[in-house]
Amino acid sequence: MCGIVGYVGKRPALPILLEGLKRLEYRGYDSAGIAVITPRGELALDKAVGKLRALEGSTRARALPGTIGIGHTRWATHGKPSQVNAHPHTDGEGRVAVIHNGIVENYLELKRELAAQGRRFVSETDTEVLPHLIAGFMAQGVGLAEAVRATLGRIRGAHAIVALSPQEPGVIVAARLGHAGAVVIGYGEGEMFVSSDLPALLPHTRRIAVLGNGEVATVTAAGASYCDSQGRAVVKEPQTSSLDPLSAAKGGYKHFMLKEISEQPEVVLDSLRGRVLFDPPTILADQEVPFTAAEARRLRRAVLVGMGTSLHAAMVGRLMLEQIAGLPAEVDNASELRYRDPPLDRQDLVVAVTQSGETVDTLAAMVNAKQKGARQLAICNVPGSQATQVAEGTISIRAGLEIGVASTKTFVGSMLALYLLAIHLGRLRGTVDPPRLQELVRDLAPLPAAMGRLLERQDEYRALAQRFSSSEHFLFLGRGIQHPIAMEGALKLKEVSYIHAEGYAAGEMKHGPIALIDRSLPVVAIAVRDALYDKMLSNIFEVKARDGIVIALGTEGDQELGERADHVIWVPPASPWLAPLLTVVPLQCLAYEIAVRRGCDVDQPRNLAKTVTVE
């Protein structure tokens, strides 16, 4: 996730911005930049590739004057890491500077429209369309804030945007659309701050306001005013942020689990940073996957392994490797694989999925495979953990610290890492040609915003929880790549609410589970529009014919499903391999809401540990 800082007040902006960016370094970045408005009313920028010291060396030399400015640390997605692609971006005529978090999904069409109007572009980024749009609206006579708000109406995706203009030298405008990271406004004495991170503000102030979806903030040294996406004034009183590390870490959420569920769009963006370029479509996985094309082509089989939620991610990854990379794949629970002691050799690729990197059974299976000479990768969230030391290479989940015992954002991060691995191996093995690569990469762009739409519907999940929190049994059904999601939905529910829940391949219904169906049993059926939709619909008919209750997950607009199921949770459309990253979100939220209603200890459920380091 990129880092954002802004300052307007009476002190020199440059040192405050550089210090703020240093506090954001933990997010990872490949370039950084700063823009200030000088006392002469000019826009002055400086940007540098690499670590902040490159920027510090540069701007200090130039000693950018001014008491208002914005700063940014960037992970490249559109356009390689370079000085010209670093933020801030401008309209080319010194009228507007913008820093940005998110993906402008429709940037290509906007870029063509603006170029046709004579706008000149210098970078490869999607972000650069923003200052041109904003300058265009300002040229029509509106102010900076109104121009930013109008720009929100032209762009698709999830965004955090901060802009400034010499035409309004004492004003910073910040805006948020969807879930592309927070935008926090800090209130000082005669000075104001903007950041993507609460910790970057705490050295200066504890009085903060957090932008809501679609909100725009106009920030001056004297304070801030807010409006919504329709331009209607919004009253936001600054809250005093607790310095208590635990509640500050919870970021205002009641539980870590809900906070971490809500962070999933950012996890997707973080996973893509520095690994995926949208134009030209490119997967940059070489540094994490140490296989040559010849070695990749020699692979005979993948063996995926994990426990619990990570096993469910491995089950999804298996289908991705088979269907995208053309690599035969099998998956096994680590505690079984380690004792099954299968024949393995250098033509086998073991992929160990373990967010902690310390699960004892998974480590044992990895060591066993290593002794047999198998190639080995880890999908892991903890750099330096044992799994990363046993594997030849690690694809980092990049989900940040996950404190809730129930794995949520690391599950989505694991599936995304497996998707990138499948594409990378497919490129090396020749099963993914350039057109296919373009399609697979393009499908990633709408993911953060689609997840954000699912996260905006907590009331719906809460209503379902109210209806079903007293049920003592649940059945979750899915087919194909949604079968592991049915398993994961059941695991989430049983973990945090202590309700007995089973996840099943829906095709198994007639082989036993159908005996369970009656009017007391809620059945969650994942029936999105994919190749197995009709089969899932038949399963729903079977359940309804026996007075069962069906809570379906369906693709937005599917009227037929709406007529068949008792309750439908609508999910945005997505490619077959990325759909699981969406369907799991409502199931996580439903489990959370039911557990809260049942008064369970959501973040530390009974009998469970976050990491199982003992057998």
* Cα–Cα distance for residue pair 330/340, rounded to 1 Å: 13
Q: Which residues of 564-595 are buried (b: 16+ CB within 10 A; e: fewer)?
A: bbebbbbbbebebbbbbbbbbbbbbbbbbbbb
> Given the structure tokens 């439903």, which residue do they identify?
590
Q: Whose CB is nearest to ligand AGP?
A: 308
Rama region for 198: left / alpha / beta (φ>0; ψ in -120 to 50; rest): alpha
Closest approach, Cβ 582 to ligand AGP, in A, equals 19
User: How buried is 392 (Cβ within 10 angstroms: 0-12 exposed, 13-18 middle, 19+ buried)?
Assistant: middle
- Host H or E run for residue 48: strand 43-49
* Cα–Cα distance for residue pair 306/93, rounded to 1 Å: 54
Among 307, 487, 501, 523, binds ligand AGP (CB under 6 A): 307
CB 102 within 8 A of CB 180: yes
Residue of 236, 494, 544, 610 marked active site: 610
Among 148, 185, 272, 405, binds ligand AGP (CB under 6 A): 405
Among 151, 333, 359, 388, binds ligand AGP (CB under 6 A): 359
Give the E-state strand segments of 387-461 in sequence order: 393-396
Residue among 120, 134, 114, 124 at smallest CA distance from 92 = 120
Q: Which CB atom, from 165 or from 407, has the smaller least distance to ligand AGP? A: 407
Closest approach, Cβ 402 to ligand AGP, in A, equals 9
Q: Which CB atom, from 539 or from 588, has the smaller least distance to ligand AGP? A: 588
Looking from the CA of 560 toward its CB, the CA atoms found within 13 Å total: 10
3-state DSSP percent of the chain in helix, strand and coil, to 5: 40, 20, 40
Asked whether position 354 contacts ligand AGP by CB under 6 A, the answer is yes
Q: Which CB atom, from 73 or from 309, has the smaller least distance to ligand AGP? A: 309
CB 306 within 8 A of CB 391: no
User: How buried is 244 (Cβ within 10 angstroms: 0-12 exposed, 13-18 middle, 19+ buried)?
Assistant: exposed
Among 125, 355, 394, 588, binds ligand AGP (CB under 6 A): 355
Asked whether position 584 contacts ligand AGP by CB under 6 A, the answer is no
CB 69 within 8 A of CB 36: yes
Q: Which stretch binds ligand AGP (CB under 6 A): 203-211, 273-281, 304-312, 475-483?
A: 304-312
Give the E-state strand segments of 205-353 in sequence order: 207-210, 216-220, 223-227, 233-234, 239-240, 276-278, 281-283, 301-306, 329-333, 348-353
Among 67, 241, 356, 482, binds ligand AGP (CB under 6 A): 356
Q: Which CB atom, from 85 or from 588, has the smaller least distance to ligand AGP? A: 588
Asked whether position 333 contacts ligand AGP by CB under 6 A, the answer is no
CB 143 within 8 A of CB 96: no
Among 271, 362, 396, 588, binds ligand AGP (CB under 6 A): 362
Annotated catalytic, 610? yes
Asked whether position 367 contacts ligand AGP by CB under 6 A, the answer is no
Closest approach, Cβ 509 to ligand AGP, in A, equals 25
> Of 279-298, which residues contact ligand AGP (CB under 6 A)?
none
Q: Which stretch binds ligand AGP (CB under 6 A): 160-168, 356-364, 563-571, 580-588?
A: 356-364
DSSP 26: G
Using DSSP's 3-state secondary structure scheme, residue 447 falls into helix
Looking from the CA of 305 toward its CB, the CA atoms found within 13 Å total: 32
> Of 46-85, which residues contact ligand AGP (CB under 6 A)?
none
Using DSSP's 3-state secondary structure scheme, residue 525 falls into strand
Closest approach, Cβ 566 to ligand AGP, in A, equals 27
Among 101, 125, 309, 376, binds ligand AGP (CB under 6 A): 309
Q: Which residues contact 559 (CB under 8 A, 6 or more apart)?
A: none
> Of 482-511, which residues contact ligand AGP (CB under 6 A)?
495
Asked whether position 407 contacts ligand AGP by CB under 6 A, the answer is yes
Among 68, 96, 208, 406, binds ligand AGP (CB under 6 A): 406
Closest approach, Cβ 356 to ligand AGP, in A, equals 3
Residue among 325, 181, 205 at smallest CA distance from 264 = 181
x-marked contacts with ligand AGP along 585-614 as a string, rule CB under 6 A: --------------------------xx--
Annotated catalytic, 2? yes
How many residues belong to the site for ligand AGP (CB under 6 A)? 15
Q: Which CB atom, from 114 or from 379, has the smaller least distance to ligand AGP? A: 379
Question: Could you list the residues that contact ligand AGP (CB under 6 A)?
Answer: 307-310, 354-356, 359, 362, 405-407, 495, 611-612
Catalytic residues: 2, 610
